[in-house]
């Protein structure tokens, strides 16, 4: 048996990540069709977790993670327009200040996770970092951090922003 495959009952190779990928696609599709805000990411995480049995699995090969990062970069880059870059240049000082504040907050929250809950510092920093679930998960895997903690905190953060903060903000803006 090769390292990247798990043999099924029919003696044909199935990629180790195939059930998680299928579950992630199904979960994402379901929540997108139900028009749940951020349904793609929330459904993908939930579906992958359910189909993989939420238990330890071999991480995907580094090449798969690299391709995933390239695709994420392409998706982000495809949204950039000259006007976006112009706005970035006009707002460079407030953006740098905001990033500094977010990183300081990351360190403070990571210190709380480390001291109060015994989470190792690398895991705590990545769990509290202001980044996307996919990016932070891949970075956690590369840094040998506890991926389950990083993913759990980021999924709760995204779900809270999308399902609580966004509707609250829309309600406040709609009523002012």
Q: How far apart are CA 128 and CA 157, in angstroms?
A: 9
| 158 within 8 A of 42, measured Cβ to Cβ | yes
| 76 within 8 A of 54, measured Cβ to Cβ | no
pTM exceeding the 0.95 threshold for the entire prediction: no
Count CB neighbours of 58 within 10 A: 10
pLDDT in tens, 3-48: 444 444 444 444 556 777 788 889 889 999 998 877 887 888 788 8
Which residues have CB under 8 Å from 151's CB, separation 6+? Answer: 45, 133, 137, 140
């Amino acid at each position: 048996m090769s390292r990247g495959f798990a043999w099924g009952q029919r003696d044909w190779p199935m990629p180790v990540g195939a059930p998680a990928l299928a579950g992630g696609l199904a979960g994402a599709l379901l929540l997108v069709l139900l028009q749940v805000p951020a349904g793609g990411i929330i459904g993908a995480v939930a579906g992958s977790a359910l189909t993989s049995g939420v238990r330890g699995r071999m991480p995907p090969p580094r090449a798969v993670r690299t391709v995933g990062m390239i695709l994420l970069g392409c998706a982000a880059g495809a949204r950039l327009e000259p006007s976006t870059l112009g706005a970035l240049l006009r707002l460079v000082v407030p953006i740098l200040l905001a990033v500094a504040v977010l990183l300081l907050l990351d360190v403070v929250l990571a210190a709380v996770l480390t001291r109060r809950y015994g989470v190792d510092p690398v895991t705590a920093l990545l769990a509290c970092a202001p980044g996307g679930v996919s990016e932070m998960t891949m970075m956690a895997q590369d840094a040998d951090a506890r991926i389950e903690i990083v993913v759990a905190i980021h999924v709760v953060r995204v779900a809270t922003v999308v399902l609580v903060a966004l509707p609250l903000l829309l309600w406040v803006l709609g009523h002012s």
